[in-house]
Amino acid sequence: MTAPPLTSGTAAVPDAAGHFGRYGGRFVPEALVAALDELDREYRAALADPTFQAEFDRMLREYAGTPSLLYRAERLSAEAGARILLKREDLNHTGAHKVRNVLGQALLTKRMGKPRVIAETGAGQHGVASATAAAYLDLECVVYMGELDTQRQALNVARMRMLGATVIPVTSGSRTLKDAMNEAMRDWVTNVDRTHYLIGTVAGPHPFPAMVREFVRGIGVEARQQCLELTGALPDAVAACVGGGSNALGIFHAFIDDADVRLYGFEAGGEGIETGRHASSITGGSAGVLHGTRTYVLQDADGQTQESHSISAGLDYPGVGPEHAWLNDIGRARYEPVTDAEAMSAFQLLCRTEGIIPAIESAHALAGALRIIPALTAELGREPTIVVNLSGRGDKDMHTAGRYFGLLDERQG
Amino acid sequence: MSERSIAVAFEKARAEERALLVGCMPAGFPTVERSIAAMTAMVESGVDVIELEIPYSDPVMDGPVIQRASDIALAGGVRVADALRVVEAVTATGAPVVIMTYWNPIEQYGVDAFARDLAAAGGTGLITPDLIPEEAAEWLAASDAYGLDRTFLVAPSSTDERLAMTVAHCRGFVYATALMGVTGARERTSEAAPILVGRVREVTDLPVGVGLGVSTGAQAAEVGRYADGVIVGSALVRTVLDAPDEASGLAALRALSTELAEGVRAVRS
C-alpha cells in the first residue's frame, strides 16, 4: 500500500484564517504573524509539491516504518465481546504516531531553509521525536521541558541529549508542559528568522492545527483502507485518546464523512472529573484562549489556566486542539473522560490478552472502547467492530505501571 | 477623541516638547495595596501614564521579570476585579491608566462587561499583546460603545499591509515593539525601533510608543528622540522584585522613575 496523498478532500475546515467554527484562529503577538503567514504559505505549497510528498512518503515508509499494522486482537475481542482492531502506531520508529508529525515538520523546516527547530515537551515523547527528526535531517534542536518534568523523566532527557538536542529546563510558572510551551513561544518570537517551532500536537495558532492534521491524517487513511480489506466493511466506531489530540484527529479525519462511523475521543479523567484533578478539557473545561488558539481550556473564572492531572504525562495538558472543540460542538465526535484507574485496568488487560504493552495514553482509548461496547451492541443488534488507535508503546511507562501495580522491588520503587 | 483618551497626555507632552513616559506594573504585585502604592510613587516621580498589567498564568510576551511578578500576584490571589480597583485608585492621582492584558482574562470576564467596568473605573483603554485586529471584532465593538482606546502592537516583522491595517484599528496610541523578543531590560536599545516608528508615521498621525528593553534614563532619552512615548516595564518591576523590603523597593522605584522622567525630558534640549 502506498502512503495516502497529503492533501485532504474533506478539509472544509478550517477557514482561511484557521477557524473551526468559533474555535481556532490566532491569538499571538504581532511579531509572530509574519512567521505564521510564511508557514501557512510554505506548508500549502509543500502539500501541492509532488517532490515534497514523495520525500515525506519515502521517509514514512523507509524510516518510520509505516503503514502501521491494523491488527485483529482476537483474545482481547473474545474477552470484550466486540471485534477490536488495533491500529499499531506503537510499532513506528520512536514508538508512537508522533514520528509522522515531526518528520513532516522537519522536512518542511528544511524546505523553508531554516537551520533550527525548537519544541516543547511534557513527558519527553515529543521532545525525543523532535530530536530524532532533527538528527535524521541535520537540524539544530532545542527542547523546552518543565523543570519538574525533567526530574520526573530523566531518562527521556538523556535520550534527547544522546540524539544531539539541547534540553532547557523551564523554571517559570508551574514548571510543566504548558510553561515549556510558553518558553518555546518566547524563543520563537526572538529567533523566528532561523527557527521553526515544531509544535507537538494539533493545537497552537493557525496554521498549526491544520498543518499537523495533514501530517498525521495518514493514520486514518491507512486504517480505513485496512479495515475494509480485513473485514469488508467500515468499523462501527473509532476510538482514540485525546490530550492535545493529534493521534485522535489523525485517525478520525479519514472517517469524518462516513456518517455511520462513530468517533470517540477519550480524555484523561485523572482521579475523576468531580475531584477537579483531571485533564478533560472538553468534558470539564470551558471555551477560552490558550497558547494562541480558542478552544476548550481548564481555567478558573478569571481565565487563569488551571493545572491538569493525569497518570498519563502525554495527556496531561489543560487545553485541546481547536478542531476537537468544534467536532464536539457539532456532535460529529463524542468526548468522554476515562479515569486513571480505568486506563490502568485496560493497560493490564491488553498486556495479558495480547502481549502488547501500550502507552498509558493509548490505554485510555482502549478503556473507553471497552466501555462503549454494551450500548453499541444493543444499538446495532450485533457485535460491533471498533478500531482503537494504539498510538504508542508503553516502555516509557513501565516505571509508572510498576509502581501502580506494585511490581517493583522496594528500592526500585 | 474622548477626554479620557491617552492621546490627551500625549498632546500635553508634545506641547512640552518631550516624550511621554509610560511605566508598567502588574496589578496586585506583590499585593493589591502595595501595587497601588508603587504606581502612586511612580506618578509622583514623573511617570506620565501607568500601564497596568493584569497578571496572567501564561504571559508569552513577557520575559522572566514580569513573569515572576505576575506569578507572585496570582499566588497572592489577585483577581481581574482587583485590577479594576487599582485602575480607580491610581486614576485618582491624576495620571491616566491604560491596561495591558492577555486576551483570555477579558474574554472570561465578558468583553462588553469589562469595557463597561473599565470605563467606569476611569481607565483609558487596553493594550492587547496577544490580540490581533482580525480576532478583535467583539473588542472593537465594545471599545467603540464605551469610548475606550485600543492599542494593538506592531513589530519589525509586520508587513506594510499588516502595519497599515493594524494601525487603522488603533485609537489613542500605537505600540511599537522595538525588537523581536519578549519584555526585559537590554543593554542596548534596538536599531529596528526608529525604522519601525518611521514606518508607522507614514500611515498615521497617532502617537507612537516604543517598548521592550528600555531600562535607563539614557536609553529613555535616546528612544524619546524619535518616539512619542517611552514604555518601561521590567526595569521598574525589578526594583520592587529585588528589594529586601517595601520601603527600599519604593525608594529604588522612585529613583528609577525620576531618572527615566529626566531622560524623556532631556530629549529635545
pLDDT in tens, B226-258: 999 999 999 999 999 999 999 999 999 999 999
Query: Are A289 and A330 within one domain?
Result: yes
Query: Are A110 and A124 within one domain?
Result: yes
Choose one of A166, A186, A212: the last residue of a domain.
A212
A17: nearest CA in chain B? B134
Q: How far apart are CA B76 and CA A158, in angstroms?
A: 37
- A86 domain residue, yes or no: yes
Alpha carbon of B54: minimum distance to chain A alpha carbons (Å):
10
Residues of the domain holding A130: 37-45+98-212
Domain boundaries B7-265, corresponding CATH code = 3.20.20.70
Query: Are A205 and A234 within one domain?
Result: no
Query: Are A242 and A343 within one domain?
Result: yes
A25: nearest CA in chain B? B135
Query: Are A177 and A250 within one domain?
Result: no
Burial class (CB in 10 A: 0-12, 13-18, 19+), A413: exposed
- A79 domain residue, yes or no: yes
- A284 domain residue, yes or no: yes
Per-residue pLDDT at A152? 79
Query: CB distance B153–A288 less than 8 Å?
Result: no
Confirm whether A110 is a catalytic residue: no
Per-residue pLDDT at A4? 45
Cis-peptide, bond into residue A14, ω within 30° of zero: yes
Per-residue pLDDT at A310? 93
- Active-site residue, from B48, B51, B53, B149: B51
Question: pLDDT averaged over chain B?
Answer: 94
Q: How far apart are CA B192 and CA B178, in angstroms?
A: 6
- A283 domain residue, yes or no: yes
Average pLDDT in the B199-228 region? Answer: 94
- A411 domain residue, yes or no: no
Query: Are A246 and A360 within one domain?
Result: yes
- Residue spans per domain, chain B: 7-265
Say which CATH number the domain at A219 has.
3.40.50.1100
A186 CB within 8 Å of a chain B CB: yes
Alpha carbon of A16: minimum distance to chain B alpha carbons (Å):
12
Query: With contacts defined as CB-CB under 8 Å, which chain A residues touch B135?
Result: 25-27
pLDDT at B203 over 50: yes
B128: nearest CA in chain A? A29
Per-residue pLDDT at A317? 93
Q: Which residues pair with A336 in a beta bridge?
A: A266
Per-residue pLDDT at A9? 40
Query: Are A187 and A323 within one domain?
Result: no
Per-residue pLDDT at A11? 52
- Active-site residue, from A87, A89, A98, A361: A98
Query: CB distance B80–A303 less than 8 Å?
Result: yes
Query: CB distance A34–B162 less than 8 Å?
Result: yes
- A62 domain residue, yes or no: no
A22 CB within 8 Å of a chain B CB: no
High-pLDDT (> 90) share of chain B, %? 88
Number of domains in chain A: 2
B98 CB within 8 Å of a chain A CB: no
A173 CB within 8 Å of a chain B CB: yes
Per-residue pLDDT at B268? 60
Query: Are A77 and A200 within one domain?
Result: no
Query: Are A379 and A235 within one domain?
Result: yes
The tens digit of pLDDT for each residue in B57-100 reads 999 888 889 999 999 999 999 999 999 999 999 999 999 999 99
Query: Are A232 and A193 within one domain?
Result: no
Query: Are A378 and A239 within one domain?
Result: yes
Confirm whether A267 is a catalytic residue: no
Looking at the partner chain, which of A182, A297, A299 has a beta carbon nearest the beta carbon of B60? A182
Choose one of A179, A212, A245: the last residue of a domain.
A212
Q: Which residues pair with B51 in a beta bridge?
A: B24, B98
- A114 domain residue, yes or no: yes
Choose one of A162, A196, A212: the last residue of a domain.
A212
> Which amino acid is it at B166?
T
Residues of chain A with pLDDT under 50: 1-10, 413
Per-residue pLDDT at A153? 84
The candidate with the shortest Cα–Cα distance to A105, out of A191, A195, A165, A20, is A195
Query: Are A195 and A130 within one domain?
Result: yes
Per-residue pLDDT at B5? 81
Give me the DSSP letters along A144-207. EEEHHHHHHTHHHHHHHHHTT-EEEEE-STTSSHHHHHHHHHHHHHHHTTTEEE--SSS-SSTT
Per-residue pLDDT at B187? 65
Query: CB distance B60–A34 less than 8 Å?
Result: no
Query: With contacts defined as CB-CB under 8 Å, which chain B residues touch A34?
Result: 155, 157-159, 162
Confirm whether B62 is a catalytic residue: yes
Looking at the partner chain, which of B56, B63, B156 has a beta carbon nearest the beta carbon of A304? B56
- A25 domain residue, yes or no: no
Looking at the partner chain, which of A30, A185, A186 has a beta carbon nearest the beta carbon of B153? A30
Q: How far apart are CA B16 and CA A219, in angstroms?
A: 66
Query: CB distance A303–B166 less than 8 Å?
Result: no
A16 CB within 8 Å of a chain B CB: no
Angle at A102 between CA A98 and CA A106, to 5 degrees: 175
Cα-trace Rg, chain B: 17
A178: nearest CA in chain B? B58
Per-residue pLDDT at B185? 66
Per-residue pLDDT at A5? 44
